[in-house]
Structure 1
Amino acid sequence: MTRIIFCIVASFVLISCGGSKKAARAKASTESTRYTAPEKKPIATSSPSTRELMYLSEIKPSEENQIRFNIIKNARQYEGTPYKYGGTTPKGMDCSGLVYTAFLEEGISIPRVSRHIAEEGKRIKTNDVIPGDLLFFITGRRSKQINHVGIVVDVLPGQILFIHSSTSQGVIVSSLNEGYWNNAFKEARRIM
Protein backbone atom coordinates (compact mmCIF):
# COMPACT_ATOMS: atom_id res chain seq x y z
CA MET A 1 0.00 0.00 0.00
CA THR A 2 2.88 2.37 0.88
CA ARG A 3 4.48 1.70 -2.50
CA ILE A 4 1.23 2.44 -4.34
CA ILE A 5 0.83 5.72 -2.43
CA PHE A 6 4.46 6.60 -3.17
CA CYS A 7 3.98 5.89 -6.88
CA ILE A 8 0.88 8.08 -6.96
CA VAL A 9 2.62 10.91 -5.10
CA ALA A 10 5.74 10.49 -7.23
CA SER A 11 3.71 10.78 -10.43
CA PHE A 12 2.58 14.31 -9.51
CA VAL A 13 6.00 15.99 -9.65
CA LEU A 14 8.59 17.14 -12.72
CA ILE A 15 13.14 20.24 -16.17
CA SER A 16 16.82 22.16 -15.83
CA CYS A 17 19.39 24.83 -15.11
CA GLY A 18 21.30 25.68 -18.13
CA GLY A 19 21.67 28.43 -20.56
CA SER A 20 21.91 28.01 -24.27
CA LYS A 21 19.83 25.66 -26.35
CA LYS A 22 23.03 24.15 -27.75
CA ALA A 23 24.85 21.69 -25.49
CA ALA A 24 28.56 21.17 -25.26
CA ARG A 25 29.53 17.61 -25.97
CA ALA A 26 31.37 15.98 -23.09
CA LYS A 27 34.57 14.03 -23.74
CA ALA A 28 34.18 10.28 -23.53
CA SER A 29 35.56 8.82 -20.35
CA THR A 30 36.63 5.34 -19.41
CA GLU A 31 34.64 5.66 -16.19
CA SER A 32 31.38 6.86 -17.72
CA THR A 33 29.52 5.85 -20.81
CA ARG A 34 27.50 8.33 -22.88
CA TYR A 35 23.90 7.22 -22.80
CA THR A 36 22.70 6.18 -26.24
CA ALA A 37 19.04 6.66 -27.05
CA PRO A 38 17.22 3.62 -28.39
CA GLU A 39 16.30 3.51 -32.09
CA LYS A 40 12.60 3.83 -31.36
CA LYS A 41 11.11 7.30 -31.04
CA PRO A 42 12.05 8.78 -27.63
CA ILE A 43 9.31 9.29 -25.11
CA ALA A 44 9.16 13.02 -24.42
CA THR A 45 7.13 13.08 -21.27
CA SER A 46 7.15 15.38 -18.36
CA SER A 47 4.95 13.22 -16.23
CA PRO A 48 5.79 9.53 -16.11
CA SER A 49 2.87 7.19 -15.64
CA THR A 50 2.45 4.92 -12.65
CA ARG A 51 3.47 2.02 -14.89
CA GLU A 52 6.73 3.81 -15.69
CA LEU A 53 7.35 4.28 -11.99
CA MET A 54 6.96 0.57 -11.24
CA TYR A 55 10.75 0.17 -11.18
CA LEU A 56 10.82 2.16 -7.96
CA SER A 57 8.59 -0.38 -6.25
CA GLU A 58 10.78 -3.26 -7.45
CA ILE A 59 13.86 -2.12 -5.52
CA LYS A 60 14.44 -4.21 -2.41
CA PRO A 61 13.50 -2.29 0.73
CA SER A 62 16.42 -1.14 2.85
CA GLU A 63 17.29 1.92 4.86
CA GLU A 64 19.45 3.25 2.00
CA ASN A 65 16.67 2.70 -0.54
CA GLN A 66 14.16 4.38 1.76
CA ILE A 67 16.41 7.44 1.85
CA ARG A 68 16.60 7.34 -1.97
CA PHE A 69 12.78 7.17 -2.19
CA ASN A 70 12.50 10.07 0.23
CA ILE A 71 14.98 12.21 -1.73
CA ILE A 72 12.99 11.60 -4.92
CA LYS A 73 9.74 12.37 -3.11
CA ASN A 74 11.28 15.56 -1.69
CA ALA A 75 12.37 16.69 -5.16
CA ARG A 76 9.05 15.81 -6.79
CA GLN A 77 7.09 17.94 -4.32
CA TYR A 78 8.67 20.96 -6.06
CA GLU A 79 7.41 20.01 -9.52
CA GLY A 80 6.09 23.10 -11.26
CA THR A 81 8.20 25.43 -9.11
CA PRO A 82 9.55 28.22 -11.34
CA TYR A 83 13.25 28.58 -12.05
CA LYS A 84 15.10 31.11 -9.91
CA TYR A 85 18.87 31.41 -9.95
CA GLY A 86 20.15 30.60 -6.46
CA GLY A 87 16.67 29.63 -5.26
CA THR A 88 15.92 26.83 -2.81
CA THR A 89 12.24 27.43 -1.97
CA PRO A 90 8.82 26.72 -3.51
CA LYS A 91 8.88 30.32 -4.80
CA GLY A 92 11.77 29.41 -7.12
CA MET A 93 14.83 27.20 -7.38
CA ASP A 94 17.69 26.35 -9.69
CA CYS A 95 18.93 22.85 -10.50
CA SER A 96 21.50 22.55 -7.72
CA GLY A 97 19.06 24.21 -5.31
CA LEU A 98 16.54 21.44 -6.02
CA VAL A 99 19.13 18.69 -5.45
CA TYR A 100 20.61 20.42 -2.40
CA THR A 101 17.15 20.87 -0.82
CA ALA A 102 15.96 17.31 -1.60
CA PHE A 103 19.06 15.84 0.08
CA LEU A 104 19.06 18.30 2.99
CA GLU A 105 15.45 17.38 3.85
CA GLU A 106 16.83 13.88 4.55
CA GLY A 107 19.64 15.25 6.71
CA ILE A 108 22.28 14.80 3.99
CA SER A 109 24.43 17.86 3.44
CA ILE A 110 25.93 18.23 -0.03
CA PRO A 111 27.56 21.22 -1.75
CA ARG A 112 25.25 23.90 -3.14
CA VAL A 113 26.79 24.25 -6.64
CA SER A 114 26.48 21.64 -9.44
CA ARG A 115 30.19 21.39 -10.23
CA HIS A 116 30.98 20.91 -6.53
CA ILE A 117 28.26 18.28 -6.09
CA ALA A 118 29.97 16.46 -9.01
CA GLU A 119 33.02 15.98 -6.78
CA GLU A 120 30.98 13.99 -4.24
CA GLY A 121 30.28 10.26 -4.17
CA LYS A 122 31.55 7.96 -6.90
CA ARG A 123 31.28 8.09 -10.66
CA ILE A 124 29.13 5.32 -12.17
CA LYS A 125 28.20 4.15 -15.67
CA THR A 126 24.77 5.08 -16.98
CA ASN A 127 23.98 1.37 -17.25
CA ASP A 128 24.36 1.16 -13.46
CA VAL A 129 22.22 4.14 -12.40
CA ILE A 130 19.27 3.62 -10.10
CA PRO A 131 16.69 6.07 -8.75
CA GLY A 132 18.35 8.58 -6.44
CA ASP A 133 21.62 8.78 -8.39
CA LEU A 134 22.63 12.11 -9.90
CA LEU A 135 23.16 13.05 -13.55
CA PHE A 136 25.50 15.92 -14.47
CA PHE A 137 25.51 18.02 -17.62
CA ILE A 138 27.52 20.67 -19.42
CA THR A 139 25.11 23.06 -21.11
CA GLY A 140 25.81 26.03 -23.31
CA ARG A 141 28.41 26.69 -25.99
CA ARG A 142 30.95 28.43 -23.78
CA SER A 143 30.76 26.26 -20.70
CA LYS A 144 33.52 23.72 -20.21
CA GLN A 145 32.55 22.60 -16.73
CA ILE A 146 29.54 20.93 -15.17
CA ASN A 147 26.75 23.46 -14.70
CA HIS A 148 23.57 21.36 -14.41
CA VAL A 149 22.41 18.46 -12.23
CA GLY A 150 19.32 16.27 -11.91
CA ILE A 151 18.14 13.36 -9.77
CA VAL A 152 17.27 10.03 -11.41
CA VAL A 153 13.62 9.26 -10.63
CA ASP A 154 13.21 6.11 -12.70
CA VAL A 155 15.11 3.72 -14.96
CA LEU A 156 13.16 2.01 -17.72
CA PRO A 157 14.41 -0.20 -20.54
CA GLY A 158 16.35 2.21 -22.78
CA GLN A 159 15.35 5.30 -20.82
CA ILE A 160 16.45 7.24 -17.75
CA LEU A 161 14.06 9.80 -16.25
CA PHE A 162 15.39 12.58 -14.05
CA ILE A 163 13.99 15.57 -12.17
CA HIS A 164 15.69 18.95 -12.45
CA SER A 165 14.99 22.67 -12.69
CA SER A 166 15.19 24.22 -16.15
CA THR A 167 15.50 27.91 -16.88
CA SER A 168 12.54 27.71 -19.25
CA GLN A 169 10.14 25.35 -17.48
CA GLY A 170 11.16 25.22 -13.83
CA VAL A 171 11.13 21.91 -11.98
CA ILE A 172 10.15 19.05 -14.31
CA VAL A 173 10.98 15.44 -15.14
CA SER A 174 12.87 14.87 -18.40
CA SER A 175 14.25 11.87 -20.24
CA LEU A 176 17.92 11.38 -21.01
CA ASN A 177 16.60 10.29 -24.43
CA GLU A 178 15.81 13.92 -25.26
CA GLY A 179 18.47 15.10 -27.70
CA TYR A 180 19.44 18.22 -25.76
CA TRP A 181 20.02 16.33 -22.51
CA ASN A 182 21.68 13.38 -24.19
CA ASN A 183 24.17 15.70 -25.92
CA ALA A 184 24.82 17.73 -22.76
CA PHE A 185 25.26 14.65 -20.53
CA LYS A 186 28.68 14.45 -18.82
CA GLU A 187 28.52 11.83 -16.06
CA ALA A 188 26.46 9.99 -13.45
CA ARG A 189 27.38 9.82 -9.76
CA ARG A 190 26.15 7.95 -6.69
CA ILE A 191 26.22 9.96 -3.48
CA MET A 192 25.06 7.06 -1.28
Structure 2
Amino acid sequence: MSRITLLMLLIVGFSSCKSSKRTTSSSVGSTKIITKKSTNEPTVFNTGTQNSVEATASKVSYSTADYIITFAKQFEGVRYKWGGTTEAGMDCSGLVYESFKTYDIILPRASKDMAKRGEKVALKDVLHGDLLFFKTGNRRNSINHVGLIVAIRNNDIEFIHSTSSKGVIISRLNESYWLNAFHEARRVL
Protein backbone atom coordinates (compact mmCIF):
# COMPACT_ATOMS: atom_id res chain seq x y z
CA MET A 1 0.00 0.00 0.00
CA SER A 2 2.81 2.46 0.85
CA ARG A 3 4.50 1.70 -2.49
CA ILE A 4 1.32 2.57 -4.36
CA THR A 5 0.95 5.79 -2.38
CA LEU A 6 4.59 6.70 -3.05
CA LEU A 7 4.19 5.90 -6.75
CA MET A 8 1.06 8.07 -6.95
CA LEU A 9 2.85 10.96 -5.24
CA LEU A 10 5.75 10.70 -7.68
CA ILE A 11 3.45 10.66 -10.69
CA VAL A 12 1.51 13.69 -9.45
CA GLY A 13 4.75 15.48 -8.53
CA PHE A 14 6.39 14.95 -11.92
CA SER A 15 3.29 15.81 -13.91
CA SER A 16 3.05 19.21 -12.23
CA CYS A 17 6.72 20.11 -12.88
CA LYS A 18 6.34 21.30 -16.45
CA SER A 19 8.52 24.08 -17.79
CA SER A 20 6.00 25.49 -20.21
CA LYS A 21 4.97 29.09 -20.50
CA ARG A 22 1.58 29.85 -19.07
CA THR A 23 -0.70 32.81 -19.17
CA THR A 24 -3.57 33.41 -16.84
CA SER A 25 -6.89 34.22 -18.30
CA SER A 26 -10.06 35.22 -16.64
CA SER A 27 -12.75 37.57 -17.68
CA VAL A 28 -11.63 40.28 -15.24
CA GLY A 29 -8.11 41.60 -14.64
CA SER A 30 -6.30 39.21 -16.95
CA THR A 31 -2.56 39.65 -17.32
CA LYS A 32 -0.28 38.31 -20.02
CA ILE A 33 3.43 38.63 -19.43
CA ILE A 34 5.87 36.72 -21.58
CA THR A 35 9.48 37.53 -20.82
CA LYS A 36 11.41 35.07 -22.96
CA LYS A 37 10.42 33.42 -26.19
CA SER A 38 12.31 30.74 -28.04
CA THR A 39 10.93 31.94 -31.38
CA ASN A 40 12.84 35.24 -31.15
CA GLU A 41 9.61 37.24 -31.20
CA PRO A 42 9.68 40.66 -29.59
CA THR A 43 8.72 40.61 -25.92
CA VAL A 44 5.07 41.49 -25.34
CA PHE A 45 3.62 42.98 -22.17
CA ASN A 46 -0.16 43.34 -22.07
CA THR A 47 -2.28 44.03 -19.03
CA GLY A 48 -5.99 44.53 -18.71
CA THR A 49 -9.08 42.49 -19.24
CA GLN A 50 -9.04 39.51 -21.54
CA ASN A 51 -11.01 41.39 -24.18
CA SER A 52 -8.44 44.19 -24.28
CA VAL A 53 -5.59 41.66 -24.41
CA GLU A 54 -7.18 39.91 -27.36
CA ALA A 55 -7.87 43.24 -29.07
CA THR A 56 -4.28 44.40 -28.54
CA ALA A 57 -2.86 41.08 -29.74
CA SER A 58 -4.92 41.20 -32.91
CA LYS A 59 -3.68 44.73 -33.73
CA VAL A 60 0.02 44.06 -33.07
CA SER A 61 2.09 43.13 -36.08
CA TYR A 62 5.83 42.78 -36.15
CA SER A 63 8.04 43.78 -39.03
CA THR A 64 11.13 41.96 -40.18
CA ALA A 65 13.13 44.80 -38.61
CA ASP A 66 11.50 44.08 -35.21
CA TYR A 67 12.52 40.42 -35.40
CA ILE A 68 16.08 41.25 -36.52
CA ILE A 69 16.48 43.78 -33.70
CA THR A 70 15.14 41.34 -31.12
CA PHE A 71 17.58 38.70 -32.36
CA ALA A 72 20.51 41.14 -32.18
CA LYS A 73 19.58 42.28 -28.67
CA GLN A 74 19.99 38.77 -27.31
CA PHE A 75 23.75 39.24 -27.76
CA GLU A 76 23.93 42.34 -25.55
CA GLY A 77 26.85 41.89 -23.17
CA VAL A 78 28.68 39.35 -25.33
CA ARG A 79 32.40 40.11 -25.44
CA TYR A 80 34.14 41.40 -28.56
CA LYS A 81 35.99 38.88 -30.71
CA TRP A 82 37.42 39.83 -34.09
CA GLY A 83 35.68 37.69 -36.70
CA GLY A 84 33.28 36.32 -34.08
CA THR A 85 29.67 35.42 -34.84
CA THR A 86 28.55 33.54 -31.71
CA GLU A 87 27.79 34.06 -28.02
CA ALA A 88 31.46 33.21 -27.34
CA GLY A 89 32.44 36.50 -29.00
CA MET A 90 31.23 38.79 -31.74
CA ASP A 91 32.46 41.68 -33.84
CA CYS A 92 30.29 44.48 -35.24
CA SER A 93 29.77 43.04 -38.71
CA GLY A 94 29.30 39.54 -37.27
CA LEU A 95 26.42 40.81 -35.14
CA VAL A 96 24.69 42.45 -38.12
CA TYR A 97 25.48 39.56 -40.47
CA GLU A 98 24.05 36.91 -38.12
CA SER A 99 20.98 39.00 -37.20
CA PHE A 100 19.97 39.46 -40.83
CA LYS A 101 20.98 35.91 -41.84
CA THR A 102 18.56 34.47 -39.27
CA TYR A 103 15.73 35.97 -41.34
CA ASP A 104 17.16 34.84 -44.71
CA ILE A 105 18.72 38.18 -45.62
CA ILE A 106 22.30 37.50 -46.59
CA LEU A 107 24.68 40.44 -46.32
CA PRO A 108 28.42 40.51 -46.96
CA ARG A 109 30.46 39.63 -43.87
CA ALA A 110 32.60 42.80 -43.72
CA SER A 111 31.20 46.22 -42.79
CA LYS A 112 32.85 47.98 -45.75
CA ASP A 113 31.12 45.52 -48.10
CA MET A 114 27.79 45.83 -46.26
CA ALA A 115 27.96 49.57 -46.98
CA LYS A 116 27.56 48.78 -50.68
CA ARG A 117 24.14 47.15 -50.13
CA GLY A 118 20.72 48.75 -49.96
CA GLU A 119 20.04 52.43 -50.49
CA LYS A 120 21.66 55.40 -48.80
CA VAL A 121 19.31 57.18 -46.38
CA ALA A 122 19.55 60.66 -44.86
CA LEU A 123 19.82 60.63 -41.05
CA LYS A 124 16.52 62.50 -40.73
CA ASP A 125 14.79 59.66 -42.63
CA VAL A 126 16.26 56.59 -40.90
CA LEU A 127 14.05 53.89 -39.40
CA HIS A 128 14.68 51.12 -36.91
CA GLY A 129 16.36 48.26 -38.77
CA ASP A 130 18.53 50.57 -40.90
CA LEU A 131 22.31 50.30 -40.71
CA LEU A 132 24.77 52.98 -39.62
CA PHE A 133 28.31 52.93 -40.97
CA PHE A 134 31.34 54.53 -39.36
CA LYS A 135 34.96 55.37 -40.09
CA THR A 136 36.67 54.96 -36.72
CA GLY A 137 40.09 55.12 -35.15
CA ASN A 138 43.22 55.24 -37.28
CA ARG A 139 41.36 54.03 -40.37
CA ARG A 140 39.21 57.10 -40.99
CA ASN A 141 39.60 56.76 -44.75
CA SER A 142 37.42 53.64 -45.01
CA ILE A 143 34.30 52.21 -43.39
CA ASN A 144 35.29 49.81 -40.63
CA HIS A 145 32.31 49.73 -38.24
CA VAL A 146 28.57 49.04 -38.50
CA GLY A 147 25.61 49.31 -36.15
CA LEU A 148 21.93 48.37 -36.37
CA ILE A 149 19.37 51.04 -35.44
CA VAL A 150 17.15 49.70 -32.65
CA ALA A 151 15.20 52.86 -31.74
CA ILE A 152 14.79 56.54 -32.43
CA ARG A 153 13.89 58.53 -29.32
CA ASN A 154 13.84 62.28 -28.78
CA ASN A 155 15.83 62.95 -31.96
CA ASP A 156 18.51 60.49 -30.87
CA ILE A 157 19.28 57.30 -32.74
CA GLU A 158 20.04 54.21 -30.65
CA PHE A 159 22.01 51.42 -32.32
CA ILE A 160 23.35 48.04 -31.30
CA HIS A 161 26.91 47.15 -32.24
CA SER A 162 30.01 45.44 -30.89
CA THR A 163 32.97 47.47 -29.67
CA SER A 164 36.42 46.14 -28.90
CA SER A 165 36.31 47.66 -25.40
CA LYS A 166 32.76 46.84 -24.23
CA GLY A 167 31.49 44.07 -26.51
CA VAL A 168 27.90 44.16 -27.75
CA ILE A 169 26.19 47.31 -26.47
CA ILE A 170 23.54 49.84 -27.41
CA SER A 171 24.93 53.33 -28.03
CA ARG A 172 23.47 56.67 -29.10
CA LEU A 173 24.50 58.46 -32.26
CA ASN A 174 24.48 61.79 -30.39
CA GLU A 175 27.52 60.64 -28.37
CA SER A 176 30.36 62.80 -29.71
CA TYR A 177 32.63 59.87 -30.67
CA TRP A 178 29.97 58.17 -32.77
CA LEU A 179 28.66 61.38 -34.30
CA ASN A 180 32.19 62.36 -35.40
CA ALA A 181 32.90 58.87 -36.79
CA PHE A 182 29.53 58.55 -38.58
CA HIS A 183 29.79 58.18 -42.36
CA GLU A 184 26.39 57.08 -43.73
CA ALA A 185 23.11 55.26 -43.11
CA ARG A 186 21.73 52.59 -45.41
CA ARG A 187 18.41 50.75 -45.70
CA VAL A 188 18.62 47.06 -46.56
CA LEU A 189 15.06 46.05 -45.62
Alignment of 1:132-171 (within 5 A): 132-171=129-168
Closer/same/farther in 2, CA of residues 7 and 120 from structure 1, 3 Å limit: same
Counterpart secondary structure, 2:72: helix
Bigger Rg, structure 1 or 2? 2
| TM-score for both structures, normalised by structure 2 | 0.69
% identical aligned pairs: 50
- Three-state SS of the structure 1 residue aligned to 2:69 is helix
- CA-CA distance at 1:66 after TM superposition: 1.7
Superposed CA deviations along residues 138-167 of structure 1, whole A, max 9, x for unmatched, are 001343110000000001122000000000
Which of these residues, 164, 173, 176, is aligned with residue 173 of structure 2? 176
- 2:73 aligned partner: 76
Gaps of 5+ in 1: 10-59
CA distance in 1 between partners of 2:92 and 2:32 (Å): 28
In the alignment, the residues of structure 2 paired with residue 133 and residue 99 of structure 1 have an alpha-carbon distance, to the nearest angstrom, of 11
User: 2 CA distance for matches of 1:3 and 1:172?
Assistant: 25
Q: Figure out how many residues of one structure are paired with residues of the other and give that number.
A: 140
Deviation at 1:61, TM superposition (A): 6.3
- Partner residue of 2:84? 87
Q: Does 1:131 align with 2:128?
A: yes
Match of 1:105 in 2: 102
Which protein, 1 or 2, shows the higher relative CO under an 8 Å CA cutoff with sep ≥ 6?
Answer: 1
User: Which letter maps to 2:180?
Assistant: N
Q: Which runs of 4+ in 1 moved over 3 A?
A: 1-5
Gaps of 5+ in 2: 1-30, 36-41, 46-58
Question: Partner of 2:100: helix, strand, or coil?
Answer: helix
In 2 relative to 1, CA 115–3 (structure 1 residues): closer, same or farther, beyond 3 Å? farther
Residues 73 and 140 of structure 1: CA distance in aligned 2, closer, same or farther (over 3 Å): same
Q: TM-score, normalised by structure 1?
A: 0.68
Q: Distance in 2 between matches of 1:2 and 1:134?
A: 33
Match of 1:33 in 2: none
State how far apart, in whole Å, the 2-side matches of 1:151 and 1:2 are: 29
Taking a change above 3 Å as real, the CA distance of residues 116 and 70 of structure 1, as seen in their structure-2 partners, is same
- Tell me the SS of whatever aligns to 2:105: coil
Please tell me the residue identity of whatever aligns with 2:178: W
